[in-house]
Structure formats: C-alpha cells, structure tokens
A and B are shown apart, each in its own frame.
Chain A
Amino acid sequence: NAGVTQTPKFRVLKTGQSMTLLCAQDMNHEYMYWYRQDPGMGLRLIHYSVGEGTTAKGEVPDGYNVSRLKKQNFLLGLESAAPSQTSVYFCASSYRGLDYGYTFGSGTRLTVV
C-alpha cells in the first residue's frame, strides 16, 4: 500500500546509545517531517526537509540530526540518547504547493532508560 513507512515501530535504548529511525514514502512527496508526540504536548516539529539534500530545524531540534540523501527517505538520528527523548516519533510527508495535509507514518515508540 502507498504511504509512509517508519521503522522500527518500537525500540528501547540505554542512555548514551545511538540509533537511527528510518522513514520511507512512495508518494513522490517533496516535503518530509519528523515530529515527536509527548503526553499533553501535542505534536512538535523536530526537523523537516523541503527536498532531497536539504534539511531544516523545527521547534525542538536539539539532540537530533537528520538526513535526506534520497527523495523518498528521511532519517532521524539520535547520537547520544537521553531519557528526555522518550517519546513517540512520527514521520510525515506532503506535496509542495498542494494542500491536502500530511500523510503520516504509524509512529515509533522510543523508550530511553
């Protein structure tokens, strides 16, 4: 099925470990986004990309890095995980210039212990 695929769906990390979350979309969307969702906080933008090879910071970028080497993929990296990064992470994508909202992935639940 067409859409946004996130891997993994669940992960437990120890403080200080690193990991990469992968987001892949097959809709030829130009824009891609990483959000985190915390209880009572809604969704907050971490980083986003408006095209292959470009990235930009969102509202809460500290502690995260991203890369978009291919149009269909958007990677979110945690270099040294902290308990404050325990959250549900959502990837989303959208067309440029059209306004049908985002297409979201199903989320990754990350726990840092």
Chain B
Amino acid sequence: AQTVTQSQPEMSVQEAETVTLSCTYDTSESDYYLFWYKQPPSRQMILVIRQEAYKQQNATENRFSVNFQKAAKSFSLKISDSQLGDAAMYFCAYRIGAGSYQLTFGKGTKLSVIP
C-alpha cells in the first residue's frame, strides 16, 4: 500500500520569509502524481500545486514551488515571501497514474505565519 509521510506536525515562519514543508512517500509505481493541498481555517481544501512523476522539472505556482526528488521519494513544498494568508494546514497527497484516482493523504503540517 502506498503511504505518505509528513514528518513535521507543526511549523512556523516569519512573514516575508521562506519555509519548506517536507513530504516523503512510499510506492512501487513508476507513474504517479503528487499534490499539495492547503486547508485554511475555513476548512476548504485548496489545490496548491501538482507534480507528475515523469516530469523532471519541479513545478512552480507563483510563490509556491516543489523540490521533487524521485529517487529519494521526496516531495517538499517551498513557500517564498510568506504571507499571513498562508497560515493553514498543508497536506501532501499521492495517487497512481492509471486505474485508480484515489488520493492518499499525509497527516498534514500546520503552518503558522508570524507577523
């Protein structure tokens, strides 16, 4: 079974600084997708960024970028120029590339942003 591990239950960052959230996963598949979701206090799940395993280039969405290390099965999220609105739970998620569209989630990292 695939597993997703987020080893940092909580993290904090100063406003305008950079923070990196860690995620590792375990799979025997070669074709898969990885995601980061944000869950603010409103409870809404918001897709932050996605990465296809077959792509070597790291995905980037504005202030959010990932460091995808396929051999190490690592998928960290970097938030640059942190803003107060970035405070939320962040979930790393994985799914295989074909046959199933089920997402497997990590347990989450709670990010606090200090003004």
CA distance A33 to B91 in the complex (A): 17
State whether A99 touches B33 (Cβ < 8 A). yes
CB of A74 within 8 Å of the partner chain:
no
CB contact between B107 and one of A35, A41, A104, A106 (< 8 Å): that residue: A41
CB of B56 within 8 Å of the partner chain:
no
CB contact between A42 and one of B33, B44, B108 (< 8 Å): that residue: B108
When A42-B107, A43-B91 are in contact, do A96 and B101 touch as well, CB less than 8 Å?
Answer: yes
Residues of A within 8 A of B91 (CB): 42-43
Residues of B within 8 A of A40 (CB): 9, 107
Smallest CB separation, B36 vs chain A (Å): 10
Residues of A within 8 A of B52 (CB): 99
When A42-B91, A88-B43, A107-B43 are in contact, do A102 and B103 touch as well, CB less than 8 Å?
Answer: yes
CB contact between B102 and one of A48, A88, A100, A106 (< 8 Å): that residue: A48
For chains A and B in complex, what number of residue pairs have CB atoms within 8 angstroms? Answer: 50
State whether B102 touches A45 (Cβ < 8 A). yes
Tier of interface size on chain B: 20 to 34
CA distance A42 to B50 in the complex (A): 18
Smallest CB separation, A27 vs chain B (Å): 14
Residues of B within 8 A of A88 (CB): 43
CA distance A50 to B102 in the complex (A): 10
CB of A58 within 8 Å of the partner chain:
yes
| Residues of A in contact with B (beta carbons under 8 Å apart) | 31, 33, 35, 40-45, 48, 50, 58, 88, 90, 92, 94, 96, 99-102, 104, 106-107
Q: Could you name 11 residue pairs across A and B whose Cβ atoms are closer than 8 Å?
A: A35-B105, A40-B9, A41-B107, A42-B107, A43-B91, A92-B45, A96-B101, A99-B50, A106-B44, A107-B43, A107-B44
